[in-house]
């Protein structure tokens, strides 16, 4: 009982928002790139065949959510449950807030080390109900079509049409240039955002979507998907008490990676603006194009020229990003 209480307390605190967000944050140059056709496509009501394809794309042996009904059940009983499932999806896309029984999520803990000594040494994986997963997977597929239009070219994670290998090759090329002797000193930072998904501030995410000209109806769908979450941590095969989150994105939810890179685009665009305004901060490499950073989801490498002023500029910007993003 004490272990379950301790676990629930840890993750409830982790998924509770802190008063960080400021509406005066600089949201300029968050290029949208969306067309009217893109906006209509995002918000169109799903078709029956579209829902069916989503259901049968889910691995039948995947772990079930709190309701105990895995994808195998929906595959084998589709003729009996299809109308009810389609009705749930349509209600969700109309903006109906689904009940707790649909959006409840089990947090399963995967140890990061051989002998974890604290809850922070476990990786939380969210096990969602299939009905909830169908809705967010539909959103993910639609969002995937427009992501390349709205994200910085520096981001290669979870963006259709972009290859991780491109960033890897460019990073290797820049790292090799460290061998060149120069009057100035180059430095490469590996940015590690602790609990990156768990700390995303929802209001910050919504503002980024607004500045990128996503339709308000779509933003409302995103808000419905991320804010209507009830969590219970699975401890020794037993569920701890359910609690409601006020920040964060569920690891294991199909929609979360795309939403995370959208929120993180504020960081990418901000770094580009910072470097453009202070050219001396650029990484100095002979014959190379100017690159401020490369990103793959929540992993980022920042390339800059080191001096006290440049380091202060970068430090202040990263602190500001931490403050507004969560």
pLDDT at 193: 77
User: Taking a C-beta distance cutoff of 8 angstroms, is the pair 301, 189 a contact?
Assistant: yes
- Rounded to an integer, the average pLDDT of 73-78 is 97
Range picked from 92-96, 116-120, 198-202 for highest mean pLDDT: 92-96
Q: Cα–Cα distance between 90 and 50 in angstroms, integer?
A: 12
Largest pairwise CA distance in the chain: 73
3-state secondary structure of 293: strand
| Nearest Cα to Cα of residue 232 among 127, 85, 86 | 127
Confidence (pTM): 0.87
User: Taking a C-beta distance cutoff of 8 angstroms, is the pair 285, 186 a contact?
Assistant: yes
* Confidence bin at 321 (pLDDT 50/70/90): confident
Q: Cα–Cα distance between 284 and 202 in angstroms, integer?
A: 37
pLDDT at 21: 53
């Amino acid at each position: 009982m004490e272990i379950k209480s301790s676990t629930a307390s840890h993750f409830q605190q982790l998924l509770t928002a802190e008063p960080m967000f400021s509406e005066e944050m600089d949201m300029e140059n968050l290029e949208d790139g969306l067309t009217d056709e893109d906006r209509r496509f995002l918000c169109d009501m799903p078709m029956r065949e579209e829902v069916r394809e989503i259901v049968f794309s889910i691995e039948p042996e995947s772990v079930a959510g709190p309701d105990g009904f895995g994808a195998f059940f929906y595959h084998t009983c589709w003729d009996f449950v299809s109308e009810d499932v389609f009705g749930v999806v349509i209600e969700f896309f109309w903006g109906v807030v689904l009940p707790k029984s649909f959006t409840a999520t089990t947090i399963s803990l995967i140890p990061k080390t051989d002998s974890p000594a604290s809850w922070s040494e476990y990786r939380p994986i969210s096990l969602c109900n299939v009905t909830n997963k169908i809705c967010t997977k539909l959103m993910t597929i639609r969002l995937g079509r427009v992501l390349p239009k709205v994200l910085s070219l520096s981001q290669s994670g979870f963006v259709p049409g972009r290859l991780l290998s491109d960033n890897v090759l460019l990073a290797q090329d820049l790292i090799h240039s460290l061998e060149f002797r120069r009057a100035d000193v180059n430095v490469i930072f590996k940015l590690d955002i602790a609990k990156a998904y768990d700390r995303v501030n929802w209001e910050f995410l919504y503002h980024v979507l607004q500045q990128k000209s996503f339709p308000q109806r779509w933003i409302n769908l995103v808000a419905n998907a991320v804010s209507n979450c009830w969590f219970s941590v699975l401890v020794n095969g037993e569920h701890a008490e359910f609690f409601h989150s006020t920040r964060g994105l569920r690891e294991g939810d199909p929609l979360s990676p795309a939403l995370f890179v959208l929120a993180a685009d504020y960081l990418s665009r901000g770094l580009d603006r910072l470097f453009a305004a202070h050219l001396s901060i650029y990484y100095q490499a002979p014959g190379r194009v100017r690159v401020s950073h490369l990103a793959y989801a929540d992993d980022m490498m920042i390339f800059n020229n080191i001096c006290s002023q440049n380091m202060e500029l970068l430090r202040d910007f990263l602190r500001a990003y931490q403050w507004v993003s969560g």
